[in-house]
Structures are given as C-alpha cells and as structure tokens.
Amino acid sequence: MKTLIIEDAGKVSFTEKQKPTASKGQVLIKIKAVALNHRDQYIREGKYPGINYGTTLGADACGQVIELGEEVDNKWLNKEVVINPNIEWGDNPRVQSKNYHILGTPTDGVFAEFVAIDENKIAEKPKHMSHEEAAALPLAGMTAFRALFHHGQLETSQKVLISGVGGGVAQFAFQFALASTSEVYVTSGNAEKRAKCIELGAKGAFNYKEEDWTKQAKEQAGGFDLVIDSAGGSGLNDFIKLMKPAGRIVFYGATTGKPKDLDLFRMFWNQITLQGSTMASDQEFHQMIEFVNTHKIKPIIDSTVAFDEIISQFDKMKEGKQFGKLVAKF
Amino acid sequence: MKTLIIEDAGKVSFTEKQKPTASKGQVLIKIKAVALNHRDQYIREGKYPGINYGTTLGADACGQVIELGEEVDNKWLNKEVVINPNIEWGDNPRVQSKNYHILGTPTDGVFAEFVAIDENKIAEKPKHMSHEEAAALPLAGMTAFRALFHHGQLETSQKVLISGVGGGVAQFAFQFALASTSEVYVTSGNAEKRAKCIELGAKGAFNYKEEDWTKQAKEQAGGFDLVIDSAGGSGLNDFIKLMKPAGRIVFYGATTGKPKDLDLFRMFWNQITLQGSTMASDQEFHQMIEFVNTHKIKPIIDSTVAFDEIISQFDKMKEGKQFGKLVAKF
C-alpha cells in the first residue's frame, strides 16, 4: 500500500509498505481522508523529538472499517470512523504518561491507504461531517477541547480570547468557544482571518501587530476570563494585563519562545493562572466527538488535494497562509 | 490610646488616638498581642501601594472583646479572639473585589490598645495557643492556607516543596503541609533554618544557593506535585524542572522580581500550572482557624517584645534574620 514516510530530515516521500492486518482487538481501516498538523511539517523539517526515520507520518484520519480482529465488536464492520491519535496517554486524566506519543512518530501514522488500530481508539464519524471534515478533527479538536474545558474551565457568559486564530487548534478553540458562550474574541495578524471570525460570530477581532491592540481589547471587551494561546513569549504580559481577576491563560505551544519577563506581580495580586496544556486524554477524545455532534460543528477546511499531492499541503502549511485545515483524500 | 502609625515614608511613630467605640454590628477589642508582617515593614519604607500617612499600622492581633455594639451576639462578651484582617474581600471565593485591602493601610490597623471591628471579622482564639501565638496567625496563616489548599489542591501523599522557609507565610505553609502529607521538603539559604525544618519533620531541606540544589532535590524527592513560592524570578525554572507532570507552582510574592525567561515548553508538555495567589477569603479565615485547631498547630514565634518596643521588631524584620513571627504584647 502507498504511505508517506519521513525519509530524512527535510525529506518526506511516498513508499510502498505491506498492508497491515487487524490483530486481536484491532480493526483494519481503509483511509478515506487525512489532515495535516503543524507537527507533521515540524517532523518533515527534522524539528521534533524522537523522529524515527522511515515512519509513516500523520495523526489525523477518517476511514471505513473493512476488517475486524479477534474479540472486536461486530458493530464496527463497515462503519465510518475517526481515529484517536493518542498512544499510551495512560490512566491519569490530569496528564499523559511518560510513554505517551502521537500517531505518526515514532509509531507509524495514518498517511497510508490502510491502518490497523485498536478498537478503543476509534469513534463513529460525526454524521454531519464529510470525510474531509472528519479527518480534520482529532488532534487539533482534542487539543482545543482540553485547553478550553479541562484547563480553561470555560463557563457560559464568560469572555474568552483565542489568540492567533489562523492555526488549526485555535480555530477549533474558536468554534468550541462560540458554541459555549456569546463572548468570543480573537487576535490575528491577518485582516482576512479577522474578518472571517467576525462573520462567524466573534464579538471582536484584534490585530496583535498593532501596538495599542490591548487598549482596543480593554475598551471593547473590558477583560477576559480565559485566554487560549500558543504563541507564548513576552506577549503573555499583554494577556496578563487584559485578564479579569482570577482569569486563566491556557497555552498549548510557545511559537514565539520564552517570555523575556513575566509580570508576576500582577499575576499574584489578581490570582491569575498560567496553565500549560497539551493534547487530551482518550476520554476527552470521545467527549469532544460528542460535543461536535451536539453543536453540529464542522471543521473549517482550507483545501483538499488528492493523497498523491499531499506534499503540496506540507508546503502550504510551511507558508502559513491557510485558513482552516489542510486535507488530502483518497 | 496608644497607637503605632506610619507618619511618613521611612518613619513609624507612636501617637495617641481617641479610643474607638463599638458601632452597630461591631465589637470593641482590648488588644493583647500583635504580630508583624513584611507588609508592615514595606509600608514603613513607603514601598506599598495606597499608603495613607497617619494610618494606624498592623494587620495581625489577638485580644479580648470588652464591649458589644448593637445587634451583636452576646456570646462574644469577654471572649478572647483573633481578627480577620480582610476588608471587602467580596462575594467571589475565587478572587478579592476591587475594593479589597488589609487592615493597617489605608484603613486603621491593629497596632493600638483598642480596636473596634465587625462581629463577622473575628474568631475565637484557638485554646491551645497563647495570645502571642494567636496574634501571629491571621494574615500569614490565611495566605499559606489558600496557597496550599485552594490553589495548590494539596492531597495526602503528595510531595510538596516550600521555598524560602524563613518567611512567615512559608512557615505556616510548612506546618500546614506537614499536617497534610508526610512528604514535605523545604529550601532555605540558611543552615540553621534548614536544620530546624528537618527537626520539625521535613523530609529534605535544600540550600537554593548551591548550584546543584535541583539535582539534590531530584535525587532525594524524585519530583514535586506542588511548590509554594514567594521568590519568583528566574528561579521558577528550577521548580519547572522539578515538577512532576501536572504539578502546580503557587506563588504569593515575587521578591526576586520577574523571571528573565520561563521554560514554557516544559510547562505545556508537562501541563504545569503557574498560579498567582494572595491572602484568602473570609470563609478561608474560618477554615484556617478550624484547621489549626484540628491539628493543634502553633505558630512559630521568633521573639516577643513589649508593645512600646515594637519598632525594634520592624528593624529585625528588615534584617531578615528571624525564624518565626515577630510579636509585641501589651
């Protein structure tokens, strides 16, 4: 079968591998569509811990169950499903285990025609989604879900700011927040993305490249109960200034690096939380699927190409011009 | 009556003020003992927000109710009590209101022969404590209680590190932690204080001035579920390195300033919390009193002087050589 592997730092390539079979407790899935995450591009660039060259890439996929291993519930046969990319989260809902990793490195991922996977790692494809939309959901949807609800403790009527809303996780955080409260604000350096978010229901959209954006945000929103961020860096101080007392800043990345200083004084007096977050537990995978079903949320797709053209989606991700997930289908 | 006021930045002095009376809902307390907090010395130095010169200093006191205002429960008459120094915490258990402040600036405090205060701001003096011990309890005890339990969510069998254990809050955090789990560790730059903590039940005591203290801590403790800190600064990275996954760092001060960088990468991957904390709610004042009664905890007193000599305790605090609270009695 055809797979996309990380051949060497800087190089991904198509390779034929043997079609897997469903072992005991597993299902065999014929993949219909897959989606990219930033980590796929980071792995391509050799900038990810624990890369095992030769590994099939990819964390996110939607497909159809075509074969059942021993002891697997018959209900799965022919079902369309999405895959939970977690491997060994472990028993603790508060944090992943030491052996935790994500499909696609160092364990073979889903950028392949067929994938064999444990029965407990799949969920039915939401019926309101296409294969492409369902493929776009798991990793970014889980990360957003945990950041907003487990760590962020988002409540109805709270004011939430989603920073850098171009990214995949940020977009899910934006959509999930919109389904939970009417007071959702975003930041983006891109005018089109800001306009798009207003169109979709954001109450305000700020350009973090403008020096006085925090002033604008203060005037328009008053203050935030929750910020969801993945930029980190000294921009965290902007959020600290904008938080309501007892506000929470949840971050799942630090693309601008470490902060040069951090206003601890305002943080302790206002009892602010700075909370690191990553991915989500297996339980949250299922909760997130239920949430998108309840609220009929559809992932935002930037573009879909044929699987044979998937490398062009890596290039697009590197440029960072997309609004929505980058998908490839069989 | 005799009071100690902040006369000007750098100068505290004794001044006669009129003896107060108990208004409706208030009790009049004859003060038996008072205790110092760092904020008293900061106010003396003019380094505290909102100083109102002429204000009677002091947040912590123990005394006897000698007069009741209208509508006050008769049970209080002649009772020995401790005072909750909160003013206008407000209704939200998660954070204080905008008008929140602490007795002793800008509202007249307790370094006086008599204090009139609302009935709901007192609690019975714990019977196992002397007047001096009870006076030492409120502000630092409340701050430690909230940091450990509300924000820190300390559980039995967790490993907790109390940094800079010479300070008043840190000592209560140490004692409260000892009553809650057997795995309490401390840091101090002072060998005597470290030895004292080991004697009192600490499982380990580290000298944060030694370059490899984190290595020693890692070897001895493995990792911490909770750190209680008031130093802040770049030392926060030491804690981030030492935290178990999902660990919490709760800080109630930042005496070494803002961190020059902060390892956000380790923080998000390990889902670490950095949590600001300050003082405690009125409800926590009563919970803390109940806690010290249950566990028969006695505040550690460094020394007691006559109220007339209280300025010498300010000087001692400035030097920072004390182990335990600095008290003055009538």
- Lowest mean pLDDT of B48-57, B239-248, B293-302, name the range: B48-57
Q: What does the alpha-carbon distance between residue B54 and residue B77 come to, in Å, rounded to a whole number?
A: 30
- Lowest mean pLDDT of A9-13, B228-232, B294-298, name the range: A9-13
Judged against a pLDDT cut of 90, whether residue A146 lies above it is answered with: yes
- CB < 8 Å from A in window 128-147 of B: none
- Predicted pLDDT at B288: 98
- Predicted pLDDT at B82: 98
- Predicted pLDDT at B182: 85
**Size of the A and B interface in Cβ pairs below 8 Å:** 103
Using a CB-CB cut-off of 8 Å, the residues of chain B touching A275 are: 271-274
Stretch A304-308: mean pLDDT: 98
Q: What does the alpha-carbon distance between residue A217 and residue B34 come to, in Å, rounded to a whole number?
A: 45
Confidence at B174, pLDDT banded by 50, 70, 90: very high
* Mean pLDDT over each residue of chain B, to the nearest integer: 96
Confidence at A323, pLDDT banded by 50, 70, 90: confident
- Predicted pLDDT at A289: 98
- Predicted pLDDT at B50: 85
- Predicted pLDDT at B102: 96
Task: Kindly provide the ipTM of the predicted complex, given to two decimals.
Answer: 0.94
- Predicted pLDDT at A187: 97
Contact A262 B267 (CB under 8 A): no
Contact A271 B278 (CB under 8 A): yes
- Partner-chain residue, chosen from B151, B254, B264, that has the shortest CB–CB distance to A264: B254
On whether the CB atoms of residues A144 and A173 are closer than 8 A, the answer is yes
- Partner-chain residue, chosen from A251, A254, A264, that has the shortest CB–CB distance to B258: A264
Cα radius of gyration rounded to whole Å, chain B: 20
Is A261 buried (19+), middle (13-18) or exposed (0-12) by CB count in 10 A?
A: middle
- Predicted pLDDT at A44: 95
Judged against a pLDDT cut of 90, whether residue A41 lies above it is answered with: yes
Stretch B100-104: mean pLDDT: 96
- Predicted pLDDT at B280: 98
Judged against a pLDDT cut of 90, whether residue B323 lies above it is answered with: no
Residue found by looking up tokens 């900038």 in the block: A47
Judged against a pLDDT cut of 90, whether residue A91 lies above it is answered with: yes
Q: What does the alpha-carbon distance between residue A182 and residue A180 come to, in Å, rounded to a whole number?
A: 7
Nearby residues of B83 by Cβ (< 8 Å), 6 or more positions away: B29, B60, B61, B62, B63, B103, B110, B115, B117, B121, B122, B138
Nearby residues of B208 by Cβ (< 8 Å), 6 or more positions away: B163, B164, B187, B188, B189, B235, B238
* Strand bridging mode A159-162 / A224-229: parallel
Q: Considering only alpha carbons, which residue of chain A is nearest residue B259? A: A261
Judged against a pLDDT cut of 90, whether residue A242 lies above it is answered with: yes
Judged against a pLDDT cut of 90, whether residue A50 lies above it is answered with: no
- Predicted pLDDT at A78: 98
Q: What does the alpha-carbon distance between residue B300 and residue B133 come to, in Å, rounded to a whole number?
A: 7
- Cα of B251 to nearest chain A Cα, Å: 7
pLDDT tens profile A177-205:
999 998 999 999 999 999 999 999 999 99
Tokens coding A323:
């609004």
**pLDDT cut 70: percent of chain B above it:** 100
**pLDDT cut 90: percent of chain B above it:** 94
Stretch B275-293: mean pLDDT: 98
Stretch B296-315: mean pLDDT: 97
| Residue, of B267 and B168, whose pLDDT is higher | B267
A179 and B CB contact within 8 Å: no
Judged against a pLDDT cut of 90, whether residue A96 lies above it is answered with: yes
A89 and B CB contact within 8 Å: no
Nearby residues of A160 by Cβ (< 8 Å), 6 or more positions away: A148, A152, A154, A177, A181, A183, A184, A185, A224, A225, A226, A227, A228
Q: Considering only alpha carbons, which residue of chain B is nearest residue A257? A: B264
Confidence at B320, pLDDT banded by 50, 70, 90: confident
- Partner-chain residue, chosen from A94, A95, A268, that has the shortest CB–CB distance to B254: A268
- Predicted pLDDT at B258: 95
Q: What does the alpha-carbon distance between residue A100 and residue B305 come to, in Å, rounded to a whole number?
A: 58
On whether the CB atoms of residues A115 and A107 are closer than 8 A, the answer is no
B42 and A CB contact within 8 Å: no
- The DSSP call for residue B49 is T
Q: Which domains does chain B have, with CATH numbers?
A: 2-137+299-329 (3.90.180.10), 142-276 (3.40.50.720)
Stretch B190-198: mean pLDDT: 94
Stretch A12-20: mean pLDDT: 97
- Predicted pLDDT at A49: 86
Judged against a pLDDT cut of 90, whether residue A167 lies above it is answered with: no
- Partner-chain residue, chosen from B264, B265, B276, that has the shortest CB–CB distance to A271: B276
pLDDT tens profile B149-160:
999 999 999 999
